Amino acid sequence: MFEPSLISFASWRRVLLGAGVGAVFGAVLTAFLALTGALSIAPASMPAARVLAESLAHACQQLVPWLLLWLIVLPALLRVRFAQPWLALVLYTALAIVLIPRAIDVTIESTSQLVAVGIFALVTGLPIVRANDVWLPASFLVSLHVVTVSVAGLPFGSSAGYGVFDSRLTGDVLLTGDRMGPVFGIFGMLGLAWLAGAMLQHQRMVFAGTERLWRSRRDALTDFAFGLAIAAAAVSVMFMGMLVTQQSRVAGVTPSISALSASLTTSLPAAVAMQCLYSYVLVSVLMLLVRRGWIAVLLATAVAISDHLMGPGTTMFTAAGAGALTLAGGVAFVATGRLWMPIALIYGWRLFEGPVFGFASGGMVTAQSWFRQDILQYTALSGGVHGPDASVFGLVAKLLMAGAVIAFARKERQ
């Protein structure tokens, strides 16, 4: 049974609520700073359309470390049997004060900014504790970033002020927030504290209907995590094969969160677009015609191979590899009726192939990958300058990933 709604109506309502509150919060804070003389603002020379077009990518990069806390750290703490869930929230806030400045690569020298980071973590963690809801804080952060950075030109976290307007902050660090921006200043802290009180006062209205979403949210995260795990295992096999056969060697290892956050704004949208096209649209339409999921997936795989063969600079390995990815994503979609696992498979492949293991992806090399690799032999095994996507190892790894998904699908039917 397919479940065509990827995000429920209740979640969309909280996305809009968070985005609206973030936009209003940023606008009010900017206006208040201007009225108190702490902010001078003037139109910038850069085209507004260009600035706003780039704003979402920068906002998503700021969102990555917080998502790691909201989706992994805080849920893990909530599973610990504390006397009260608020103890988990307090511990999560302390961890955020330690981890966030390192994750966004900002040196905080004042105690007030650390307190501000803690208040921000506390307020944005409330929806997770009260309703297991990440949509509200995520949309709030993205919207707040767009308004303060991309429109007003104020700094926010590790994002310098670069927006539709040029802004200059003057005054004490407590007021301006220094490098972290005014959201982490005294006025920002007071505003965030007021938001926390408003959420607790009107939590029945803000979090209405969340109890029905716990299972679907858990299933979605399980699908996504399983897809990432399969992709990570497949790329790891390819990585070990390249090293054992001396097709490449590791020149260095430098773990970096920035490489992962950059992939979130490039590879993830591409994975969503690909799976919406091949799985959600093509497989669904073919299933209406042939009435068999596995036949629809095979036909969609053939279409993907044909599309890539007609593209310039493609080889039989790149076309077959694209078909293997389409096969894996299509089987996962038919098995679960959701796009979470198919998206995770494609995104996970690109994430671990480039930003983590440092392979060339489509001929492009990630600038800040965790592993720095030197290609020793430009053969069909390594893929040469095109990377593993045009190699025997890459094709074998993708077929192994497709096989793992097929095994999962058979288990789901039993």
Tokens for 14, please give them: 């909280």
Q: What sign results for the dihedral spanned by CA atoms 12, 340, 354, 230?
A: positive
Q: Are 405 and 226 in contact (CB under 8 A)?
A: no
Strands 248-253 and 39-43: unpaired
Q: Which residue has the tokens 């609520």?
A: 17
pLDDT of residue 2: 41
Which of 116-136 are b and which e, b meaning 16 or more Cβ less than 10 Å from the residue's Cβ?
Answer: bbbbbbbbbbbbbbbbbbbbb
Rounded distance between C-alpha atoms, residue 348 and residue 353, angstroms:
8
Q: Are 33 and 182 in contact (CB under 8 A)?
A: yes
Report CA 247 to chain centroid distance, whole Å: 32
Rounded distance between C-alpha atoms, residue 53 and residue 361, angstroms:
25
Q: What is the DSSP string of 42-109?
A: EE-SS-HHHHHHHHHHHHHHHHHHHHHIIIIIHHHHHTS--SSHHHHHHHHHHHHHHHHHHHTT----
Rounded distance between C-alpha atoms, residue 32 and residue 39, angstroms:
9
pLDDT by residue for the chain (414 residues), tens digit each?
A: 344 444 455 567 778 888 999 999 999 988 888 888 777 777 766 666 666 666 666 777 778 888 888 888 888 888 777 767 788 888 999 988 888 887 777 777 678 888 888 999 999 998 888 878 888 898 899 899 888 888 888 888 777 666 677 777 777 777 777 778 888 888 888 888 888 888 888 777 677 655 444 445 667 778 888 999 999 999 899 888 888 888 888 887 877 776 677 677 677 777 887 887 888 778 888 888 888 888 889 998 998 888 888 766 677 778 888 888 889 988 888 888 888 899 899 999 888 888 888 887 765 666 677 888 777 777 777 776 677 777 888 888 888 988 898 888 877 666
pLDDT of residue 395: 87
Rounded distance between C-alpha atoms, residue 327 and residue 296, angstroms:
10
Report CA 135 to chain centroid distance, whole Å: 12
pLDDT of residue 6: 43
Which residue, 336, 270, 269, is CA-closest to 297?
Answer: 336
Count other C-beta atoms under 10 Å from residue 406's C-beta: 17
pLDDT of residue 4: 40
Question: What is the pTM (predicted TM-score) of this model?
Answer: 0.62
Categorise residue 47: left if φ over 0, alpha if ψ from -120 to 50, beta otherwise. beta
291: exposed, middle or buried (Cβ count in 10 Å: 0-12, 13-18, 19+): exposed
Tokens for 374, please give them: 């030197």
Which of 34-71 are b and which e, b meaning 16 or more Cβ less than 10 Å from the residue's Cβ?
Answer: eeeebbebeebeeeeeebeeebeebbbbbbbbbbbbbb
Q: Which residue has the tokens 């959701």?
A: 338
pLDDT of residue 68: 83
